Amino acid sequence: MEHLLLLQKAFEERTIEEALDYTVHLVGGKLKCSTSFGQEDQVLTDMIVRHALPVTFFTLDTGRLFNETYETMEKTVARYKTAIEVFFPQAETVQQMVNTHGVNLFYESVENRQLCCHIRKVEPLGRALKDAAVWITGLRAAQTDLRKNIPVVEWMSEKNLYKINPLLNWSYDEVVQYLEKFMVPYNSLHDQGFISIGCAPCTRAIGAGEDPRSGRWWWETTQKECGLHVVK
């Protein structure tokens, strides 16, 4: 908490790479970057590895991902020669949920979908971040109305860490331009109209003019968040 203002100032005045390097030296603790292998996450991976920053990568495997996502993970590991730690949901908890509510429970109600997200994503995230001092994410303000007012750097008291969203103010075009400039591997589903990619049963391609998150949980009319990023 004592470094919050310094970190916020660093990301206002420096390049992302410089600000992340400053974070490493200021905080001194373990920096972790979460990736679901989406376009923004791939940009951050390239930046971090390109500048040899001491950041640990992790991903959450829900057990319901697209095969193209696994292919992107393999390409990323091969390209950057970096380890990506994989966290899975607790098998017994998933088993109990499916036996009680069915394998596709999330289509039946918002409550069921949130339960599934919590078991497959939120609980594993807690384990992934338990020893982290900084959590780096690929969130962008333009992704949803709910993300417009989040800060680039925030202190998460419930997790006892700093959460940093370096690409928060980037446009989608800037993300794509970076991927093209540095020939960064990306999920082939993006070329098929999938902008925001999550679990296979809960993600569809979107059409021209649709909100980027409209392909996630498209049968719902409520906020399109899974619980990983609590937006106040």
Exposure string over 148-159, b if 16+ CB within 10 A, otherwise e: eebebbbeeeee
Q: Does the CA dihedral 56-226-224-153 come out positive or negative? A: negative
3-class secondary structure, 158: coil
Q: What is the number of residues in the chain?
A: 232
Out of 33, 116, 117, 226, which one is annotated catalytic?
Answer: 226
Query: Has 116 been annotated as catalytic?
Result: no
Positions of E strands within 46-192: 55-60, 84-87, 134-136, 153-156, 161-164
Give the closest residue to 193 by CA, choosing from 216, 175, 215, 163: 215
Residue bearing tokens 């790479």: 17
Distance CA 40, CA 178 (A): 10
Contact 223, 146 (CB under 8 A): yes
- Report the catalytic residues: 226
